[in-house]
A = this chain, B = another copy of it.
């Protein structure tokens, strides 16, 4: 099978046209992301994560696939909407807005800001508009300022059990590479060193070989619901961020460790009964709090494919190849909707869609096309060898 061609086709003849056709808000700018099975808009609220991610995606396509004017226009629509509506007076990004840009949910964490910074940096490169580079840089500085207390007054913890969360160092390890043209090398280096250390030395536990979602400040595990939580998809996604950093820094040791870790996570997170990768697990095998723990999510499988493709490019060995085939076969036989296009997001444990939406509060134009693009380009290099 020619994977490069397969992934390219899926991206350019199915997924991107789906979002071009259904998601554009030509009246207020930005995007509809709540799209039913056939692409029909069922809710018009705008979630800042997803607005920013779609700006990023179309800017990236314009820069790296083809300079289609329509792609840049789509990115512009979202970038201007975000700039006009998504920031509070202190430069923090709201979580959600109404269709016309009225703020709905406060900036109660810094993930909206992370995706906005990614979006502005990429859009600045696509459009050539320097003001967006400045915006990206300011947003990034604000993220760093808030990173030790990301929830501010919305933090519900008393401080008596100080667990730190994996999501932030993980996102920073990807964001910083997105900001290569915006930051100076010393700044990049500092955040890379911080996030690689956190991901590989603090959250990755030597004994189990797994990444924990929440650990004590000293990196030890904690026997509580949060402390036992494993999110295989997060771990897998982080491993391809590590490989990207390893390639940038020519750090073969990091690439090797990331590869071994992803194989360990896959082995642990694979559902031996029904196939697919589980969403949440408890490291001690206790019942997780998340009622959706045994569902199969689109992004988890896509990030696994990207991680495996990148690992295989570095180490073309049989075990990685087998895993790639296994995840590829599961994903492509369960998630895509051949009739109406794009992918289902949420399968039950047995692999049947239990929500037929193509987009919602958390699923937008991001994981599917980003992964298809990454797999296409990675296999293009592999298959040319």
Contact = CB atoms under 8 A, between A and B. Distances in A.
A292 B280 CA distance: 14
Mostly, the A contact residues are: loop
Given A43-B225, A291-B291, A291-B346, A104 B160 contact: yes
B103 A224 contact: no
Interface stretch (A53-61, A124-132, A149-157): A149-157
A354 B294 contact: yes
A42 interface: yes
A287 B344 CA distance: 12
Nearest to A107: B156
A223 B34 CA distance: 13
Contact of A158 (B104, B161, B224): B104
A123 to B, nearest CB: 26
A360 B293 CA distance: 15
B286 A36 contact: yes
A45 interface: yes
A12 interface: no
A5 interface: no
B224 A106 contact: no
Contact of A156 (B108, B157, B158): B108
Contact of A104 (B103, B104, B157, B286): B157
A35 B34 CA distance: 38
Contacts of A158: 94, 103-106
A295 interface: yes
A355 interface: yes
Copies of this protein in the complex: 2
Contacts of A36: 286-287
A289 interface: yes
A103 B156 CA distance: 11
A287 B105 contact: no
Contacts of A355: 287-288, 291, 293
A378 interface: no
A349 B354 contact: yes
A9 interface: no
A98 interface: yes
Given A36-B286, A225-B361, A291-B295, 16 more contacts: A36-B287, A42-B286, A42-B287, A94-B158, A98-B160, A103-B160, A104-B157, A104-B158, A105-B157, A108-B156, A153-B153, A154-B154, A154-B156, A287-B356, A289-B360, A348-B348
27 contacts: A34-B286, A42-B286, A43-B225, A43-B286, A94-B158, A95-B156, A98-B160, A102-B160, A103-B158, A104-B158, A104-B160, A105-B156, A105-B157, A105-B158, A106-B158, A154-B154, A154-B156, A225-B361, A287-B355, A287-B356, A291-B291, A291-B295, A291-B355, A292-B292, A293-B355, A348-B348, A349-B354
